[in-house]
């Protein structure tokens, strides 16, 4: 049994802003099947403290970056959690990263440094359970190796990049507040263009780095996708791999999903489509109903979609969209919905509705400019909503484009467009209409999609292999 401490800022089903939560919530259970005992260290945000059930106090801190804190152990939805209850850092209204006005919390550096600090304390033997491996996710866990570097036991740190757009940078004047070693404020550790970078600290201090698809692991090494860290990653190239995400196939199972009219074959989608059109106030139609479920940000290519909509609508297509985020994108989408009867938009976050959309949609859209993995196209595959996606990152690795070769081999599962521009997406819509107009071919693609393996098994085994290699290397020393 390999003991792993997962360090994460979000975790489904307790707290979620995006796919990181899905991964952090699903990996421990999948890793258990591979012989790993994973516990999860999570901040005790106000929004989750009431949902923990029975807790046990396992450690206390008199002064954790400016206040008292307690570490609570509990079990939620089969997950072994260690919740860091630090009211001065996490007991507040608003988002988990941003305040009510949409600004980053000014003390985000301290909040997540504290999380990383506690991870290092746990590795140092603070509890009666010590991990063999520390597995941190994104910049919020990046400083962990800095708090470990003087430790007697050098627990290996595995670092997973879900989104390199966020660096967790702050000014060098915070060195003392963050309890960092000034002697290591240099290019080989956590200094990045004169600032403290939690992300760089993680990248430099990790024994192994991975991101959430193979294509994105390659893209990260280029200036276009590396977001300034391609040089740092090039230094660590030998230790960088891509492991594609799976999905929780129990929560996303078209045959048992309590949110939908369950179905086994593509034919069962018709009743869900009808219900979805009703929910969104769209008229019954013969054309393809496209769905999109997303954070509304620059990354997700929503502006490209708005520009390409005529190519969907002119040929009788419909769009049902659910999302929230950038207010400008929200307004633009609501305007589009107000001017066209075949567009319906819901602004908000709604888990059950997201299931109904994937069940009722003919196609699911993911026009992202970059996408480390992407999960909604995986839900789409499993529910026979064929993905129309940008050819990038995990979208490139998980969808088989309906090229003439893939169609004649009978293996296509969706449509990819490239470059990631509005004209190329428009062209993608034209191809979508063309395929949708050939019901036999479309059904074949749906069957292929629904058969594709999208669970965690293979990827959890890949994580287990990384952990095992590090444990063996450690015991050989
Ligand atoms: P990212 O992590 O970049 O946001 P992913 O595709 O990996 O992208 O994961 C997004 C997750 O959040 C998926 O589980 C998706 O269904 C969910 N999601 C995003 N927006 C909404 C929304 N408005 N309502 C319900 N679920 C949403
Ligand atoms: C990120 C990425 C997304 C990925 C998710 C989980 O937020 O944007 O592509 O699926 O993390 O790894």
CA of 185 to the centre of ligand 2 (A): 29
β-bridge partners, 80? 39, 75
Ligand 1 atom nearest to 348, measured from its CA: 23
Q: Do strands 195-197 and 169-171 pair parallel, antiparallel, or not at all (unpaired)? A: antiparallel
CA-closest candidate to residue 397, choices 245, 194, 171, 208: 245
Q: Which DSSP category does 81 fall into?
A: E
CA of 168 to the centre of ligand 1 (A): 21
The contacts of residue 302 (CB under 8 Å, 6+ apart) are 294, 296, 323, 326, 329, 332, 333, 367
- Ligand 2 test: best mutation among 373, 393, 396, 463, most atoms within 8 Å of CB? 373
Q: Whose atoms come closest to the Cα of 163: which ligand?
A: 2
Question: Could you tell me the strand order of the sheet in which 169-171 lies?
Answer: 169-171, 195-197, 191-192
DSSP, residue by residue, 220-245: TTSHHHHTT-HHHHHHTGGGEEE---
Any residues with Cβ below 6 Å from ligand 1, and which?
18-20, 22, 293-295, 322-324, 349-351, 354, 373-376
| pLDDT at residue 477, as a whole number | 67
pTM of the shown model: 0.96
CA of 76 to the centre of ligand 1 (A): 21
Query: What pLDDT tens digit does each residue of the chain (477 aa) get?
Result: 999 999 999 999 999 999 999 999 999 999 999 999 999 999 999 999 999 999 999 999 999 999 999 999 999 999 999 999 999 999 999 999 999 888 999 999 999 999 999 999 999 999 999 999 999 999 999 999 999 988 888 999 999 999 999 999 999 999 999 999 999 999 999 999 999 999 999 999 999 999 999 999 999 999 999 999 999 999 999 999 999 999 999 999 999 999 999 999 999 999 999 999 999 999 999 999 999 999 999 999 999 999 999 999 999 999 999 999 999 999 999 999 999 999 999 999 999 999 999 999 999 999 999 999 999 999 999 999 999 999 999 999 999 999 999 999 999 999 999 999 999 999 999 999 999 999 999 999 999 999 999 999 999 999 999 999 999 998 776
Ligand 1 atom nearest to 366, measured from its CA: 6
β-bridge partners, 82? 41, 73
Which residue's alpha carbon is nearest to atom 1 within ligand 2? 162
- Ligand 1 test: best mutation among 16, 19, 27, 349, most atoms within 8 Å of CB? 19
CA of 20 to the centre of ligand 1 (A): 9
What is the distance of C-alpha 90 from the center of its chain?
22
Q: Is residue 371 within 8 Å of residue 245, measured between CB atoms?
A: no
Domain boundaries, the chain: 2-246+457-476, 266-451
Matching fold, domains 2-246+457-476 and 266-451: yes
Rg (alpha carbons) of the chain, rounded to whole number: 23
Span 266-451: which CATH code? 3.40.50.2000
| CA atoms of 381 and 385, how far apart (whole Å) | 6
195-216 in b/e form (b: 16+ CB < 10 A) is: bbbbbbbbbbbbbbbbbbbbbb
Architecture of the domain spanning 2-246+457-476: 3-Layer(aba) Sandwich (3.40)
Ligand 1 atom nearest to 162, measured from its CA: 2
| pLDDT at residue 387, as a whole number | 99
DSSP, residue by residue, 344-368: EEEES--HHHHHHHHHH-SEEEE--
């Amino acid at each position: 049994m390999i003991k792993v401490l997962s360090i994460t800022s979000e975790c489904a089903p307790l707290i979620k802003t995006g796919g990181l939560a899905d991964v952090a919530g699903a990996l421990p259970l999948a890793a258990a099947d591979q012989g790993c005992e994973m516990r999860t260290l999570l901040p005790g945000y106000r929004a989750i403290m009431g949902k923990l059930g029975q807790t046990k106090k396992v450690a206390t801190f008199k002064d954790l970056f400016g206040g008292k804190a307690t570490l609570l152990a509990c079990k939620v939805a089969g997950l072994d959690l260690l919740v860091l209850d630090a009211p001065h850092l996490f007991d507040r209204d608003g988002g988990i990263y941003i305040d009510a006005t949409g600004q980053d919390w000014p003390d985000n550096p301290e909040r997540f440094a504290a999380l990383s600090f506690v991870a290092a304390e746990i590795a140092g033997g603070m509890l009666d359970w010590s991990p063999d491996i520390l597995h941190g996710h994104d910049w919020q866990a990046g400083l962990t190796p800095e708090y470990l570097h003087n430790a007697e036991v050098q627990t290996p740190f595995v670092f997973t990049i879900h989104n390199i757009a966020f660096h967790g940078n702050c000014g060098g004047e915070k060195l003392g507040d963050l309890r960092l070693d000034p002697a290591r404020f240099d290019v080989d550790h956590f200094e990045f263009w004169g600032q403290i970078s939690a992300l760089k600290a993680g990248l430099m201090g990790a024994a192994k780095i991975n991101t959430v698809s193979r294509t994105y692991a390659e893209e990260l090494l280029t200036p276009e996708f590396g977001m300034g860290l391609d040089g740092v990653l090039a230094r660590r190239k030998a230790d960088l791999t891509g492991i594609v995400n799976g999905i929780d196939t129990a929560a996303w199972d078209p045959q048992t999903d309590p949110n939908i009219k369950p179905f086994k074959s593509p034919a069962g989608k018709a009743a869900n489509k009808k219900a979805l059109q009703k929910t969104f106030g769209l008229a019954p139609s013969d054309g393809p109903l496209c769905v999109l479920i997303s954070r509304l940000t620059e990354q997700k290519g929503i502006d490209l979609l708005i520009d390409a909509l005529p190519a969907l609508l002119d040929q009788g297509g419909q769009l049902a969209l659910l999302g929230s985020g950038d207010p400008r994108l929200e307004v633009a989408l609501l305007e589009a919905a107000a001017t066209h009867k075949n567009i319906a938009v819901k602004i908000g976050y709604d888990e059950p509705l997201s299931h109904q959309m994937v069940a009722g949609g003919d196609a699911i859209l993911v026009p992202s400019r970059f996408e480390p993995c992407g999960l909604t196209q995986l839900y789409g595959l499993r529910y026979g909503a064929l993905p129309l996606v940008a050819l990038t990152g995990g979208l490139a690795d998980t969808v088989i484009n309906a090229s003439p070769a893939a169609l004649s081999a009978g293996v296509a599962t969706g449509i990819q467009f490239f470059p990631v521009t509005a004209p190329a997406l428009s062209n993608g819509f034209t191809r979508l209409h063309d395929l949708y107009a050939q019901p036999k071919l479309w059904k074949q693609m749906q069957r292929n999609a629904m058969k594709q393996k999208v669970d965690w098994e293979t990827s959890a085994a890949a994580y287990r292999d990384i952990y095992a290699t590090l444990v063996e290397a450690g015991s050989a020393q």
